[in-house]
Structure 1
Amino acid sequence: MSFVLKYHCYLLSLMLLLPALCYSQDFLCSRATYYGSPDCLGTPTGACGFGEYGRTVNDANVAGVSRLFKNGTGCGGCYQVRCKVPQLCTDDGVNVVVTDYGEGDNTDFILSPRAYTKLATQDKSAELFAHGVVEVEYRRIPCRFSGYNLKFKVHEHSKYPNYLAIVILYAAGQNEIQAVEFWQEDCKEWRGMRRAYGAVFDVANPPYGDINLRFQVSGRMGMTWVVANNAIPSDWKVGVAYDSQIQLT
């Protein structure tokens, strides 16, 4: 009887310990894999709509996510990911930027080959790639883009002057863009832009002249609106990213 009681106590202690191992220091347990890319960079056709930025931002240490995509508000989020394969994985793992949507084998992260390589210790990346899918732990971290202000890029789908689509780049900190609005001068009011897909917001028949924007940010400080005056010039060009002079933290 004493042995049975001790055995049950051991199992209970183990059950209580396992979640602590997975959720310690703000890390959550999951799985990660990688996608094929001949140049080891990201993809320009990602679901966030980042284009070339999504291929090369953060030195191409990028990822597609599923549950963390959040209908597009998760685009641009930064995470520390580290794998848990003994003798193969580094202690720090890799810091990635979310630039795409992707579903794997019960994975939260589909990493670019460059990012997946950084999970491994020196000379062990080939062995890690052979696993295909690995157990990982991850946590949200602030995005840091040294030397860059937040930018508004006129998306390639835009048609001057009748249709404007934008995507916000270099959103630093632990922030998520929830909504974007433009100032309608003749009505003296802010009007919402549609989230077309991912991180792309659009509007038909945008106002003439320089366009003032404001965007709703959710982060550590809660929900707030940030105004960017003259964010888009009157003669805006497709594919150009305009500097906002704004630094999110």
Structure 2
Amino acid sequence: MARFPIFVNISLAAFLILGSLANAAPCRDCFIHSRATHYPNSDDNGTEIGQCGYGTLGATINGGDVSAASDLYRDGVGCGACYQVRCTNGNYCSDKGVTVVITDQGSSDHTDFILSRRAFGRMAQNADAAATLLAFGIVDIEYRRVPCSYPNKNITIKIDENSNYPHYLAFVIWNQQGRSDITAVQLCETQSYVCKLLDRTYGAVWTTTSPPSGPLSIRMLFSDENGDEKWVVPVNDIPQNWKPGDTYDTGVQVIA
């Protein structure tokens, strides 16, 4: 009889410890506190020369709700990721905030985000509040990663202007969907299916010297926050006579 309370106490202690470990586990949808500012220019949209390599798309993707990131840039792996960002001043800020796409790298006075002016203002409750936020310059925020969504658009390959057929191939991946990262890319011959692992030169730009000949198939490795990975093979190939500046629809969407 004397042992029963001891057993109960030990079981209770174990339960409390397991409960504490569960509470300490990362919360995928929890908000993280930080600060944000906006691009110091008169253009409401993003920039066409961002470090992700999106070019003109970098200024207009997601309706111009874009951002540069500091630590979240992650040496380019963070390019294309989407975040819900909302400022925390209840006098001016909405509960919803704004969803932005990472298109550039940058930091300013311990901020995680440098938003386009359009995105910065969209955190506000109304137009007057947006003007006040822009005048503040830097605001306290909270953010969390959310899935990217581009309705009726597939992942697209844009051949970089610096490519030199057939000796050097560089391309950027547009319209990355879901909330997974593209962590590796392979280029494969469609007939022999011999594949070559590409280099991420910067941002979302992938390159190779002496690319395979003939029509080319791309394989993209998507990795999520839990460490799960999967290779995705587009429906459409890059044609044999690819040209700098051309864009090619892969025919696939990756929602996960």
Query: Would you call these one fold, judging by a TM-score over 0.5?
Result: yes
Other-structure match for 1:236? 242
TM-score (norm 1): 0.86
* Range with greater deviation from structure 2 (170-179 or 32-41): 32-41
Change in 2 beyond 3 A, CA 1:81/1:93: same
CA deviation after TM superposition for structure 1 residue 235, in Å: 1.3
1:182–1:192: 8 Å Cα contact kept in structure 2? Answer: yes
Could you say which residue in structure 2 is the equivalent of 1:16?
Answer: none
Give the Cα–Cα distance (whole angstroms) in 1 for the partners of residues 97 and 121 of structure 2: 9
Q: Note the C-alpha offset of 1:125.
A: 1.3
Matches of 1:153 and 1:185 in 2, distance apart?
A: 19
Deviation (angstroms), 1:104? 1.0
Give how far 1:91 is off. 1.0
Number of the residue aligned with 2:147: 142
**Map of 2:180 onto structure 1:** 175
Cα RMSD, aligned residues only: 2.0
Aligned to 2:37: 33
Which of the residues 112, 117, 120 maps onto 1:116? Answer: 120
CA–CA distance in structure 2, aligned partners of residues 148 and 205 of structure 1: 30
Larger radius of gyration: 2
Tell me if the contact between 2:236 and 2:249 (Cα under 8 Å) persists in the aligned partners. Answer: no
1:226 aligned residue: 232
SS in 2 for 1:228: coil
| Superposed CA offset, 1:145-184 (max 9, x none) | 0110111111122122211101111111101110111114
Distance, in Å, in 2 between the alignment partners of 1:188 and 1:129 is: 52
Task: State the one-letter code of the partner of 1:94.
Answer: V
Tell me if the contact between 2:215 and 2:237 (Cα under 8 Å) persists in the aligned partners.
yes
**What letter matches 1:231 in structure 2?**
D
| Identity in percent | 43
Shift of 1:41: 1.1
Question: Quick check: 2:235–2:251 contact (8 Å CA) kept in 1?
Answer: no
Residue number in structure 2 paired with 1:247? 253
Distance in 1 of aligned mates of 2:43 and 2:72: 25
How much does 1:36 deviate?
2.4
Q: Which residue of 1 aligns with 2:47?
A: 43
In the TM superposition, what is the alpha-carbon distance from 1:236 to its structure 2 partner?
1.1
Question: CA shift at 1:132, angstroms?
Answer: 1.1
Matches within 5 A, 1:5-24: none
Mapped partners of 2:41, 2:183: distance in 1:
30
- Decide whether the 8 Å contact of 2:82 with 2:148 is kept in 1: yes
Where does the alignment leave 5 or more consecutive residues of structure 1 unmatched? 1-19
| Distance of 1:67 and 1:193 partners within structure 2 | 24
Contact conserved, 1:94 with 1:118, CA < 8 A, in 2?
yes
Secondary structure of residue in 1 paired with 2:119? helix
Q: Given the alignment, which residue of 68, 75, 87 partners 2:79?
A: 75
What residue number does 1:5 align with? none
Partner of 1:158: 163
The 2-side partners of 1:64 and 1:214 are apart by 27
Paired residue secondary structure (2:53): coil
Aligned residues: 228
Whether 1:202 and 2:207 are equivalent positions in the alignment is yes
Q: Compute the TM-score of the two structures, normalised by the length of structure 2.
A: 0.84
TM superposition shift of 1:188 = 5.0
Q: Structure 1 residue runs of 4+, over 2 Å off?
A: 36-39, 184-189, 228-231
Equivalent residues of 1:37, 1:112 under 8 A apart: no
Greater fraction strand:
1
**Structure 2 gap ranges (5+):** 1-23
Residue of structure 2 in register with 1:92 after alignment? 96
Alpha-carbon shift at residue 39 of structure 1 (Å): 2.6
